[in-house]
Amino acid sequence: MNTQMADKVSNAGGFIAALDQSGGSTPKALRGYGISEDAYSTEEEMFDLMHAMRARIIKSPAFTGDKVLGAILFEMTMDRDIDGTPTAEYLWNEKQVVPFLKIDKGLMDEENGVQLLKPMPGLDELLARAAAKGIFGTKERSVINAANPVGIKAIVDQQFEVANQVLAAGLMPILEPEITITISDKVEAEEMLKTEILKHLDAMPADKQVMLKLSLPSTDNVYAELIAHPRVMRVVALSGGYSRDEANDILTRQNGMIASFSRGLAEGISAQQSDEDFDATIATAIDSIYAASIT
């Protein structure tokens, strides 16, 4: 594991940009950027447009390691270049931003109130390829839709099973058991999730750590024990459907939690903007998310 990257992620102020929209969420992300479905006719063209959007964000003058600690990439983004340089290498060498990779293949159908990760065939090969490209860590997302103890235990068990595979490959896993923000029993789900995660953390070897990406909580600082746990490098928050202002407001109240926003980061940018307006919009977003992450 790259010790410079580990030190930055562990200790520096800032947040992690989520630039990992995948096949299912790409059309929505492009619509938000002002590109409708009639602008492309194939999946390849769609991903070309998405990569152009991500590259524009990464190349923006405000997008630097001073405020953006890391960036989570989609696999196709990792495999592409920015100005002739592989994306992960560009992020670290040009921007001092630590590269992560989304590794999950989507969600299974809901059972016991949760959606587990789909099988990930070829994961060891992907992890080896990611490490060779300079990726520091990974992220896998599953979803909790109810405070069901059986489902939540299953989701946490699976997340740590994948995390152990990632750690064995020399990479840092970000576990993302997202709680849907609109469910009526979200408070109860947060407590169940914390309890199950703590069981796994307490059983981890002393020389290992993971990262956690969690929904912004309904109970302020409910995840304080996770943030303080010696087996946790960092706890980051997903915006989960909140507007950027709402997400920043909630995050500001969480001691030691930093942002890892996707929609919140891209809010307000469009393909039609001039570079000057685009860069100003991104700068405003980065400044506000950074401020909420260091409060």
Catalytic site positions: 176, 213
E-state strands within 74-179 = 81-82, 85-86, 98-102, 114-115, 137-144, 172-179
Helix (H) or strand (E) holding 88: helix 87-95
CA 110 to chain centre: 22
| Residues 128, 123: Cα–Cα separation, whole Å | 9
CA 4 to chain centre: 20
Q: ∠237-180-147 over CA atoms, to 5°?
A: 110
Name the nearest CA neighbour of 79 among 96, 102, 59. Answer: 102
Whether 262 contacts 18, CB under 8 Å? yes
- Neighbouring C-beta atoms of residue 275, cutoff 10 Å: 11
| Residues 209, 117: Cα–Cα separation, whole Å | 21
- For the chain, the maximum distance between any two Cα atoms, rounded to a whole number of angstroms, is 53
Q: State which amino acid sits at residue 260.
A: S
Q: What Cα–Cα distance (Å) separates residue 114 from each residue in 16, 142, 154, 248?
A: 25, 8, 9, 26
Q: State which amino acid sits at residue 205.
A: P
Whether 153 contacts 116, CB under 8 Å? no
CA 272 to chain centre: 26
Whether 131 contacts 101, CB under 8 Å? no
